Amino acid sequence: MSCRLCCCRSRKSQGPPAGKWMNGKFWLIVSDPCGLFMGTMVYAVALQTAFLVNVYILLPDMSGILDLLQAVGYNVLLGLMLWSHFRCMTTNPGTAFDHIDEDIQATMRAEYISQKEGTLDDSLGPNAKRN
């Protein structure tokens, strides 16, 4: 029986498979009820706040072109904020292992091992050869 957790997958894996929306770029873990609940709460609070600001602050004082521009600007910025949050929430960023250079990775691994063993020499630069 294989493990279905992301931490147990091989390093070549990109995590959970992408959905079929947006040409495979849509990524959402539907088996995470806490994440889905918090995402729903973010949108509920943002939309409720937008409704209250529009109804009780912006619309009652709507008397000129500047008030209209202020209301349109507020709603455009709110929409851009919600769209940005949605894109961040549904995009798979990958892992650092997928994007890091092999030389940097080898240096980081060597420094980690030497720190773990207590043999790190601070006089050596990051590009110095280690024995």
CB distance 61 to 52 below 8 Å:
no
Report residue 61 as tokens.
């004082």
Judged against a pLDDT cut of 90, whether residue 28 lies above it is answered with: no
Query: Where is average pLDDT lowest: 9-18, 50-59, 82-91, 114-123?
Result: 9-18
Residue 68 is predicted with a pLDDT of: 93
Q: What percent of the chain has pLDDT over 70?
A: 61
Residue 5 is predicted with a pLDDT of: 44
Q: What average pLDDT does range 122-129 have in this prediction?
A: 56
CB distance 110 to 130 below 8 Å:
yes
pLDDT in tens, 69-87: 999 999 999 999 999 998 8
Q: Is 63 exposed, middle or buried (0-12, 13-18, 19+ CB in 10 A)?
A: exposed
